Amino acid sequence: MGKLSGIVSQNADQLCLGMYVKLPNSWLDHPFIRNEFLIKTPAQLEKLKRCKIERFDIDLSRSQLPDDWSQSSSQANEPEHQEAAEEDEVLPAWNPDTLVPEALKEALHDKKMDPQTRSSAVYLHSRELMNRLLETPTAENLKASKKAITSITDLILHDPETASNMLRITSHDFYTYTHSVNVGVTSIMLAKAMFGQSDRHDMHELGAGFFLHDLGKVNIRPEVINKPGKLTDEEMRHMRTHPFKGFKLLEKSGELTEESRIIVLQHHERADGTGYPKQLRNKDIHIYGKICCMADVFDALTAERSYKQAMTPYEALVLMRDKMADHFDKDLFEKFVHLMH
């Protein structure tokens, strides 16, 4: 190896393990944290093939391909890398010292950064933080992530321009780490609109609960999480265990507060009693759960999946008003519509 050089262009079907791929789009247009990386695992390969990108640039000098590799044989070479790729599928050992990206810390504390640049940096690296946490959700990492989320919450609460920019640039893939950040940002802003300057609510713990609302999905089978279509009844029953699984993870880690307990357990409850896990009705659902539920549904509707196109924010709000009115608290929905305009 090592004799290959130059950049070649490949379509999705020509990609194989061992290629160093350079994505042509903005980080907002694909589900990866980085725009360029070595394809090490079948999971990465499959995710790349699902991207709506027609051509990929491959840096041969940084790839790990046989010296006699050619574009015509790229698919045939894939099995040669299968064994090595499977060995590389061990998740990175993120720890409290490496969990929070340095770039996130810098963006959070650099008050001289203009709002647009700052919002983009905080959003991008918040996704990276959540991706790392969901890969290694240890008690120590949960504690470190909550500290970072506290700073993100303070930024959203006290820098309206940056916060508004973050709402506008949300990515529309439906990977759990992206969804967690989108719902976190939206929920914090809705809570701010609801509670104003009231000191009766611990906004730091609320922010943590909103960002960690889907933590339990780390214990849901990957084939169910990533299924490109409607779930079977058994798969749906399994998926509906994630609020309780998230509750147990937080409890075990010692990071379970009243706010996070409510949010994690109630973010899929509906005012008409059709939600889960307890089929609570409007008066029995805490306002924190209602806030997270609304942000969760909105993000799900505006996310693009392999089996459906993303709705525009306007289309999602109209659908929520016309088809799902019984799911939501009326006064809260009015606040939400005002926020999203």
CATH number (domain holding residue 181): 1.10.3210.10
Q: Is residue 92 part of a domain?
A: no
Q: Is residue 95 part of a domain?
A: no
Q: Are residues 65 and 177 in the same domain?
A: no
Largest CA distance in the chain: 68
Q: Is residue 151 part of a domain?
A: yes
Q: How many domains does the chain have?
A: 2
Q: Is residue 96 part of a domain?
A: no
Q: Are residues 51 and 163 in the same domain?
A: no
Q: Which two tokens stand for residue 119?
A: 């919002």
Q: Are residues 242 and 148 in the same domain?
A: yes
Please provide residue 9's backbone torsions phi and psi, each rounded to the nearest 5 degrees.
Answer: -105, 130
Domain coverage including residue 139: 102-340
Which pLDDT value is given to residue 3?
62
Boundary of a domain, candidates 56, 87, 118: 87
Q: Are residues 248 and 292 in the same domain?
A: yes
Boundary of a domain, candidates 58, 87, 116: 87
Q: Are residues 239 and 308 in the same domain?
A: yes
Boundary of a domain, candidates 63, 87, 111: 87
Q: Are residues 214 and 251 in the same domain?
A: yes
Which pLDDT value is given to residue 30?
66
CB-based burial label for 5 (10 Å; 0-12, 13-18, 19+): exposed
Q: Are residues 65 and 112 in the same domain?
A: no
Write down the H helix ranges in the chain.
Answer: 42-50, 82-87, 102-109, 115-135, 139-158, 160-168, 176-195, 203-211, 222-225, 233-239, 242-253, 258-266, 287-302, 313-323, 330-340
Which pLDDT value is given to residue 33?
64
Q: Are residues 79 and 112 in the same domain?
A: no
**DSSP letters along 307-331, please?**
TBPPPPHHHHHHHHHHHSGGGS-HH
Q: Is residue 275 part of a domain?
A: yes
- Report the alpha-carbon distance of residue 209 to residue 203 in Å, rounded: 10
Q: What is the pLDDT along the chain (341 residues), one digit of tens a residue?
A: 446 778 888 888 888 888 889 887 655 566 676 778 888 877 778 788 877 788 888 988 888 887 667 654 444 333 333 333 333 334 456 899 999 999 999 999 998 899 999 999 999 999 999 999 998 899 999 999 999 999 999 999 999 999 999 988 877 777 889 999 999 999 999 999 999 878 899 999 999 999 999 999 999 988 888 787 889 999 999 999 999 999 999 999 999 999 999 999 999 999 999 999 999 999 999 999 999 999 999 999 998 876 678 899 999 999 999 999 999 999 999 999 999 87
Which pLDDT value is given to residue 242?
96
Q: Is residue 209 part of a domain?
A: yes
Q: Is residue 93 part of a domain?
A: no
Q: Is residue 97 part of a domain?
A: no
